[in-house]
Structure 1
């Protein structure tokens, strides 16, 4: 089988209506696949004013807004209209990227037709429950996800640390790695702009602690704020720069009244804000892969991160950053103080991280997914021939 023989039906809970690391990776994958001659059709919720134009052909799937989080939508059904479109496209691979209702329906559709089914993991959804006081539902959610993923031929995870968790949870036997790259034309140390920093009222000798991401509690905003509270008592000069927006913006602003909030940024403005920081603090434990961590490293910043999936595959402790127990606010503050008092260490760790980021090429990384599609599809075809002969 050649790449041009592949017809991929990609199901996404959020392909382009809200910008995040997961859908940026999916759009980059689709772009790569199209350049290899693969045919791709995407099925996802749509909105009137999406965050960005989609890569590839996008078919709208019915959805409803999530209560309390209306910016996100849940796909709810595969109506006759979408099923007809799917049948006419005639995929030989169905790829799901979020464990929602439509993903379950899509896998059932593929199974009935003996079509290869693939799942990609983009976040640790079960870890979100703790932030909404719903921990008691975690066993149920994990069981539902296990039923979905074990009906797939294979799973791709963004990091070995995440794959190890999936194996321990018995999600599937065939789990391989689809890592993430970084746009080095966008993110690099040359984006650093001290004049821009001064325009925000930040002194040159203040260590800028950056936060990058959507302002939602599951990104570890409480741990971030607690660490900054502790750092404030340690007689070091620092400022907090927050890049991003979201429903917890007011809460975060009240916790960090002296922080500089610049809202959601894209393109060169995003890279300038990140590169003009001095260290990234990323306390999130919900990541399957820390996209913002890699982007910070590409800008030459050391990273202080939670010792959890999404960071351990990127941050080499005491070499490119510092890993901290996820719920140790004192540990986060200690790490930040270390960098504030030792700019040379900060620069050395940043340079080492930059060298690593330069190895993360998107096309090379996405080629692993293409090879996985071909391998698993050929395996299913061999099994089908064997079954017919038997």
Structure 2
């Protein structure tokens, strides 16, 4: 597209091409998960910056038609529930429909967010039409396999993901550690696209004594919290084990789970005294975060873990394994505790030690919010557009180079080009 747009800063002296971006994903708001929420922010930012977005995704449960919005075209596809994520749907293969759509109105670039059959079809269709393609790596599906008795399946999943992503000219990942991990697995064109945190939403100022009273805790009682999907791959059992160790020493401590998932019933049986607050969003979510004291996040499968910076911004003392967002954001004893390795006993001991030392908690919590105050989403949005623009340029160079080689071959074979 040839028209121009003003950049996010609104500066008239800084203009960039207005892009038509086709985004292919199997999850999108109002679905609640890290991928959907991050993508929702990026799409909103693209529209705000004057770009045009074609969003291609499976039809969500009970969805009739998506709301109309200027410069946003939503194309819905048939899908089926994901076995371990029944609340989400995976799109069916749709190469033919994508070819028809993009022949009628070519996007400047195709960005594939999720790696299901719909994402694979999008890569195939884009290659057939000589469109530039970028992708994101959001979910460690290959690591999930061991939590569902399919560890043998890991190599096959890694091979599939590598083939898909290596057919794109950029695979965006949220941490430097993930970049190194994928590069070690022979993924090409891996580039960093970090995550931000909305500090105007998540803040210690949202703390509510009224909410704490509804939880049955006093002003000085300790509240342990976990936010996220209640599922095996989130290592939720470690949260319960750590809390039981804490409650043995601090009987008035309470555990609050914010979120829902397939393990909720089992968790209630194992830990009936915990509070199960369900899914919370917006200001209610911010209030829940800020009304806790210590945040436990033992997941070993995250590519990032948006809840870590959200908890830090909310002024909580975070205990997490030293990986993904925690490795990027937490300095132990300064603004949280990053537990080395992956041993459950080390995590439990770290959580118990922090829970028993209120002075240490206080010091960490005072530093937590300031440690993520610099994580502005605007910089993330600008970086996303920068990567898309680089991919478009690289694709053009490769295409021009291939055309030059073909022309040279024709001349050498005695063919005339005019």
TM-score under structure 2 length normalisation: 0.87
Q: CA deviation at 1:177?
A: 1.2
2:161 aligned with 1:145, yes or no?
yes
Structure 2 equivalent of residue 186 of structure 1: 201
User: Could you say what secondary structure the match of 2:56 adopts?
Assistant: strand
Asked which structure has the greater RCO (Cα within 8 Å, sep 6+), the reply is 1
2:113 is aligned to: 97
1:110 lines up with 2:123 in the alignment: no
Q: Which is greater in Rg?
A: 2
1:274 and 2:289 are equivalent in the alignment:
yes
Check conservation: 2:199, 2:313, Cα contact below 8 A.
Answer: yes
CA–CA separation in structure 2 for the residues paired with 1:68 and 1:213: 15
Q: Which residue does 2:260 correspond to in 1?
A: 245
Q: What is the match of residue 408 of structure 2?
A: none
SS of residue in 1 equivalent to 2:248:
coil
1:381 is aligned to 396
Mapped pair 1:39 → 2:52: yes
The question of whether the paired residues in 1 share the 8 Å contact of 2:81 and 2:90 is answered with yes
Contact 1:62 1:78 in 2 (8 A): no
| 8 A Cα contact 1:301 1:353, kept in partner | yes
Equivalent residues in 2 for 1:1-390, closer than 5 Å: 3-16=16-29, 18-49=31-62, 56-67=72-83, 69-78=85-94, 80-172=96-188, 174-235=189-250, 237-325=252-340, 327-390=342-405
Are the counterparts in 2 of residues 178 and 366 from structure 1 also a CA contact under 8 Å? no
Whether the 8 Å contact between 2:256 and 2:276 is mirrored in structure 1 is yes
The alpha carbon displacement at 1:81 in A equals 4.2
Measure the CA separation in 2 of the matches of 1:332 and 1:202.
25
1-structure distance, mates of 2:327, 2:153: 27
Q: Give per-residue Cα distances to partners, 1:165-216, cap 9 Å, x unaligned.
A: 11111111x2211111111221111100112201221122221110101111
| Cα offsets for 1:315-356 (capped at 9, x unmatched) | 222221112246433322222222222222212222322112
For residues 84 and 243 of structure 1, what CA distance do their matches in structure 2 show?
Answer: 43
Range moving further from structure 2, 88-97 or 293-302: 88-97
Unpaired runs of 5+ residues, structure 2, are 5-15, 406-418
Query: Is the 2:45–2:381 Cα contact (8 Å) retained in structure 1?
Result: yes
Query: Deviation digits for residues 359-390 of structure 1, max 9, x if unmatched?
Result: 11111111111111111211221222233334
Cα pair 2:242 2:352 within 8 Å, conserved: no
Moved more, 303-312 or 208-217: 303-312
Q: CA RMSD in A?
A: 2.0
Query: How far has the Cα of 1:286 moved from its partner?
Result: 1.3
- Residue 210 to residue 9, structure 1, CA distance change in 2 (3 Å): same
Distance 1:101 1:196 in 2: 43
Aligned partners of 1:110 and 1:117 also within 8 Å: yes
**Taking structure 1 as the reference length, what is the TM-score of the superposition?**
0.93
- Partners of 1:222 and 1:318 lie apart in 2 by 25
> Contact between 1:285 and 1:326, CA under 8 Å: does it hold in 2?
no
**1:40 and 1:244 mapped to 2: Cα distance?**
30
Following superposition, the deviation at residue 279 of structure 1 comes to: 1.1
Whether the 8 Å CA contact 1:11–1:95 is kept in 2: the answer is yes
Give the whole-Å Cα distance in 1 for the aligned partners of 2:171 and 2:112. 10
